[in-house]
Amino acid sequence: MSRKFFMACAMLAGIVLLMQGAPAQTQNTQQAAPEKKPSAQSQPAAAPQRIAVGDLKKKLESGEKLLLIDVREDWELKADGAIAGAIHIPVADLDARMKDIPKDVQLIFY
């Protein structure tokens, strides 16, 4: 198994685990607050899903509106390269940078 594939799988698994913990925190917060009608902007995000490399390639080639976010560390990016057009936000900086990430496109983290 190549190192790039292993690193990509490990990062994707970490992101999935992080994203699964976020709804639980949101639920606890919402239980304490008075009930409000959900607005279009406060709808919960869809659950994270995996995407096969072939499917991602098809999406990129079709021109579908999506944003690739490379969450690897700088040294990993230098060692293994990146997908053209992706933006680099190390996983440790994601929380602080979420306000900078557009909400109107499909996000793909790797």
Could you tell me the pTM of the whole model?
0.57
The span from the CA of 93 to the CA of 108, in Å, is 16
Let me know if residue 40 belongs to a domain: no
Whole-number Å distance between alpha carbons of 37 and 52? 36
For 69-86, how does the pLDDT look when each residue is reduced to its tens digit (9 = 90+)? 999 999 998 999 988 889
Number of domains present in the structure of the chain:
1
Q: Is residue 39 part of a domain?
A: no
Is residue 42 in a domain? no
Give domain status of residue 90, yes or no.
yes
The torsion of the CA quartet 24, 36, 94, 60, rounded to 10 degrees, works out to 100
Question: How far apart are alpha carbons 36 and 23 in whole angstroms?
Answer: 17
The CATH number given to whatever domain includes residue 51 is 3.40.250
Domain assignment present for residue 41? The answer is no
pLDDT in tens, 1-51: 455 554 555 555 555 444 554 444 444 444 544 455 454 455 676 788 899
Residue 100, domain extent: 3-34+47-109
pLDDT of amino acid 90? 95
